[in-house]
């Protein structure tokens, strides 16, 4: 157990060192992709909690992300900026003058998303399987449509522009403080989920996924745990939404369509339903590929410009994963040293005395 803690701390340290190096060497475009990967890690790991670990197929993640993104944006913008944005219909008070710091705005964004998760989950989680998927998909769309139509709160389809980035990281002024916020949030998300899954709550979540009848007979309250997973999942989705809004700087309701949920689901399925490390790895791979494959859209090998061609690659990738790795790259297991050793063969194994 203690060895596990030490290795975990070492991994976190390694990530931080990589980030420091990245910050010094990478150009702003690559840094942006790096940050986007961090945000997608938060999305994928949180969605995996309810879909992968608890086994409840829900498709409303984009809605919770939207709640987080809008809450954060409305709390962080100053009143001048708000006036500039809301030129068609003024923003209702007290939101028009309210301004908070980065950290409280982000936490409130998470909490409001969690509340939304509760309001959606409490009725929807009484359903199962396909019905649950369709109901949550519907709720996600409803959230987006409400945001499109509440002009005096969200500025409707005009969206919000010029969302400021944080200029400090816990009161330390830094050039790239957003990167640190995003990655610290991502690390906390991953560690929190790993610990949660290892706890008795995590076992209860998995028990529900495996066999609801038996879980119930063991005294696991199905409804309570499903809603709990949903609330935690949407809290982190909200935090991720806040960071996404801060990173991109402009949000509008069209960003939070079903395609966003689909992209996250793609990451989760490729990574392995029920594997936090799988979701983490696949979030980075997919986000980087999404940018790296952009040349496909711009026309290559004499082909005409075809926007969206790179998405075909992901469709094929998903097909391959479903056909050959039906459980995703990690299945429902976590990445451990012993597995890495097996993967890289004997030269490493020789050095290890025991686990």
Partner 1 sequence: MLKINNLHVHYGGIHALRGISLEVPKNKIITLIGANGAGKSTTLRSICGLVPKTDGTIVFEGEDITSLKTTEIVKRGVTLVPEGRHVFPDLTVLENLKLGAYLRTDKSEINKDINRVYELFPRLKERKDQLAGTLSGGEQQMLAIGRALMSRPRLLMMDEPSLGLAPLIVQDVFKIIQQIHNEGMTILLIEQNASAALQIADYGYVLETGSIVLEGTGKELLNNQEVKKAYLGQS
Residues of this chain that interact with partner 1 (CB under 8 A) are 200, 203-204, 206-207, 209-211, 213-221, 332
Which is closer to partner 1, CB of 93 or CB of 200?
Answer: 200
Joined together, the tokens standing for residue 327 give: 């459980």
Which is closer to partner 1, CB of 76 or CB of 227?
Answer: 227
Which is closer to partner 1, CB of 17 or CB of 214?
Answer: 214
Dist CA 355 CA 336 (whole Å): 10
Contacts of 286 (CB under 8 A, 6+ apart): 40, 263, 266, 267, 270, 314
Q: Could you say which DSSP state residue 49 is in? A: I
Classify the phi-psi angles of 182: left when phi > 0, otherwise alpha if psi is within -120 to 50, otherwise beta.
alpha
DSSP string, 102-134: HHHHHHHHHHHHHHHHHHHHHHHTTS-HHHHHH
Dist CA 111 CA 235 (whole Å): 6
Which is closer to partner 1, CB of 253 or CB of 278?
Answer: 278
Rg (CA), the chain: 21
Distances (CA, A) of 281 to 239, 252, 294: 20, 28, 20
Burial class of residue 24 (count of CB atoms within 10 Å of its CB; 0-12, 13-18, 19+): exposed
Dist CA 64 CA 172 (whole Å): 30
Which is closer to partner 1, CB of 83 or CB of 221?
Answer: 221
Report in angstroms how near the CB of residue 273 gets to partner 1 at its nearest. 11
Report in angstroms how near the CB of residue 219 gets to partner 1 at its nearest. 3
Report in angstroms how near the CB of residue 354 gets to partner 1 at its nearest. 15
Report in angstroms how near the CB of residue 204 gets to partner 1 at its nearest. 6
Which is closer to partner 1, CB of 78 or CB of 210?
Answer: 210
Q: Could you say which DSSP state residue 309 is in? A: H
Report in angstroms how near the CB of residue 333 gets to partner 1 at its nearest. 10
Dist CA 330 CA 315 (whole Å): 19
Which is closer to partner 1, CB of 88 or CB of 214?
Answer: 214
Report in angstroms how near the CB of residue 198 gets to partner 1 at its nearest. 10
Q: Tokens 């399987």 sit at which residue? A: 129
Report in angstroms how near the CB of residue 235 gets to partner 1 at its nearest. 24
Report in angstroms how near the CB of residue 200 gets to partner 1 at its nearest. 6
Which is closer to partner 1, CB of 83 or CB of 216?
Answer: 216
């Amino acid at each position: 157990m203690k060895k596990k803690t030490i290795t975990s701390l070492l991994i976190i340290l390694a990530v931080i060192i990589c980030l420091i190096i990245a910050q010094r060497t990478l150009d702003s475009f690559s840094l942006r992709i790096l940050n986007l990967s961090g945000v997608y890690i938060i999305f994928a790991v949180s969605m995996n909690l309810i879909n992968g670990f608890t086994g409840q197929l829900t498709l409303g993640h984009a809605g919770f992300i939207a709640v987080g993104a809008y809450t954060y944006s409305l709390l962080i913008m100053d009143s001048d900026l708000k006036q500039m944005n809301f030129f068609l219909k003024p923003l209702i008070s007290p939101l028009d003058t309210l301004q908070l710091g980065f950290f409280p705005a982000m936490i409130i964004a998470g909490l409001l998303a969690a509340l939304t998760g509760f309001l959606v989950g409490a009725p929807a989680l009484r359903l199962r399987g396909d019905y649950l998927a369709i109901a949550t998909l519907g709720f996600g769309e409803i959230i987006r449509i409400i945001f499109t139509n509440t002009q005096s709160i969200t500025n409707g389809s005009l969206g919000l522009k010029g969302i400021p980035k944080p200029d400090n990281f816990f009161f330390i002024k830094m050039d790239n403080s957003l990167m640190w916020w995003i990655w610290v949030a991502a690390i906390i998300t991953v560690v929190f989920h790993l610990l949660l899954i290892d706890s008795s709550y995590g076992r209860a979540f998995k028990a529900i996924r495996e066999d609801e009848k038996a879980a119930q007979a063991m005294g696991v309250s199905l409804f309570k745990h499903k809603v709990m997973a949903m609330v935690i999942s949407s809290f982190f989705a909200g935090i991720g939404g806040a960071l996404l809004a801060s990173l991109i700087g402009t949000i509008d309701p069209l960003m939070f369509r079903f395609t966003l949920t689909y992209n996250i689901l793609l990451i989760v399925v490729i990574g392995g339903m029920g594997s936090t490390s799988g979701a983490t790895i696949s979030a980075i791979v997919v986000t980087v590929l999404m940018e790296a494959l952009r040349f496909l859209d711009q026309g290559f090998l004499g082909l005409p410009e075809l926007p969206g061609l790179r998405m075909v690659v992901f469709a094929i990738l998903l097909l391959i994963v479903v056909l050959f790795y039906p459980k995703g790259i990690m299945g429902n297991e976590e990445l451990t040293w012993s597995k890495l050793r097996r993967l890289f063969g004997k030269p490493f194994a020789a050095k290890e005395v025991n686990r």
